[in-house]
Amino acid sequence: MSEVSIMTAGIDVAKDHLDLGLSDDSVHNFANDPDGCEQVRDRLAAMNVKIIVIEATGGYERSIVAELATSGLPVVVVNPRQVRDFARATGRLAKTDKIDALLLARFGAAIEPPQRELPDEQAMALRELLARRRQVVNMITAESNRLGQARTQRVKRSIELMIETLKHQLNEINDDRDGQIQDNPDLRARDAVLRDVPGVGPATARTLLLELPELGTCSRQQIAALVGLAPINRDSGTMRGKRTTWGGRVSVRCTLYMAALTASRYHPDIRPYGRRLRDAGKCAKVALIAVARKLLTILNAKIREHLAQTRNCSNQPLTSNTVASCLHPSPPFPHP
């Protein structure tokens, strides 16, 4: 019997259709609807597929990713920038849906991006709610700026009504988000751990919970790189360039910047750290980034200890000492 060849697949996702590219250079077109997703799933399930690569396309990929993941197929969602850089490196500058599908298959075969655990339905719903909250906040800011420039009373009244409506929507989103977190025991416990750190308020805790689920499962170097707070070298030969931060999750990083401003004033460990940086001649922005990275490191360690404590409590018999330890864990960073 001949050995079955191992395939890699790439799926280029558009609003109305899916282009499935395979490592044998064939391309197949399907509709981006429930029936089309099932056809793609059935076709790939009948093959010996090592990896299926899909670009993040702002939401259009969710249906096909969910269909493949629930069937146990090895699907990976990648950053489109990585695929574009791969295309340039291999000299493939043309861009069509079919070319992109084959490019994704070649990217999967060459790079073999690691599979990550996909969020469950509740986590995806909460992330979408958080994204909508940011949109509403941005719209409120934009309307408030327009209000300051408006001259006629009619226009001012129109803007004020819009701001009032948006604030009502914001309150409803906040209530819905907070209610879902309180109904989830794990999220509720992590939220309490995060908010116990000076400088971390409700908005920061919610953003970290929903947009950085890796918190507590990575090393301090890995979590800093994931958020985009790790300095990147710029050296060549004898030249030593300035270290800069780049990439990462923008929404988490922006939230941590604001939390770092508060932590640099009120956190007993971070406050002297930020002061030492400024006394050493670091500019305000560099010091703030370093403070945000230190705050993230502390939060990562706090959640790691919480997870370890939870596992220990679940594996130990329920004695009075065990219960007390679970309810009142010792802080990982004792204050001097």
In tens digits, the chain (336 residues) has pLDDT values of: 334 467 899 999 998 999 999 988 999 999 999 999 999 999 999 888 999 999 988 788 888 988 898 888 899 999 898 899 999 998 888 889 899 999 999 999 999 988 877 777 777 888 888 889 999 999 999 999 999 899 999 999 999 999 999 999 999 999 998 888 888 898 899 999 999 999 999 989 999 998 898 899 989 999 999 999 988 887 878 888 788 887 888 889 999 999 999 999 999 999 999 999 999 998 988 999 999 999 999 999 999 999 998 877 766 554 434 333 333 343 433 333
Helix axes 250-266, 220-227, angle to 10 degrees: 120
β-strand pairing of 7-13 with 49-55: parallel
DSSP state of 71: T
Rounded Cα distance between 75 and 45, Å, is 12
Query: Residue 78: beta bridge partners?
Result: 55
- How far from the centroid of its chain's Cα atoms is residue 308's Cα? 23
Tokens representing 240 are 């030593």
SS3 324: helix
- The position carrying tokens 């950085």 is 212
SS3 318: coil
Tokens representing 303 are 């959640």
Q: Are 286 and 266 in contact (CB under 8 A)?
A: no
pTM score above 0.95: no
The pLDDT value given to residue 123: 79
β-strand pairing of 49-55 with 75-78: parallel
In degrees rounded to 5, what are phi and psi of residue 117?
Answer: -65, 125
The pLDDT value given to residue 210: 87
Angle at 224 between CA 331 and CA 279, to 5 degrees: 80
Rounded Cα distance between 111 and 261, Å, is 39
Let me know if 89 is exposed, middle or buried by CB neighbors in 10 A (0-12, 13-18, 19+). Answer: exposed
The pLDDT value given to residue 334: 35
CB proximity list for 226: less than 8 A, separation 6 or greater: 212, 214, 218, 248, 249
The pLDDT value given to residue 323: 34
The pLDDT value given to residue 335: 34
SS3 139: helix
Distances (CA, A) of 69 to 13, 65, 128: 16, 6, 19
> 7-111 falls under which CATH superfamily?
ATPase, nucleotide binding domain (3.30.420.40)
Q: Are 98 and 21 in contact (CB under 8 A)?
A: yes
Tokens representing 210 are 């929903």
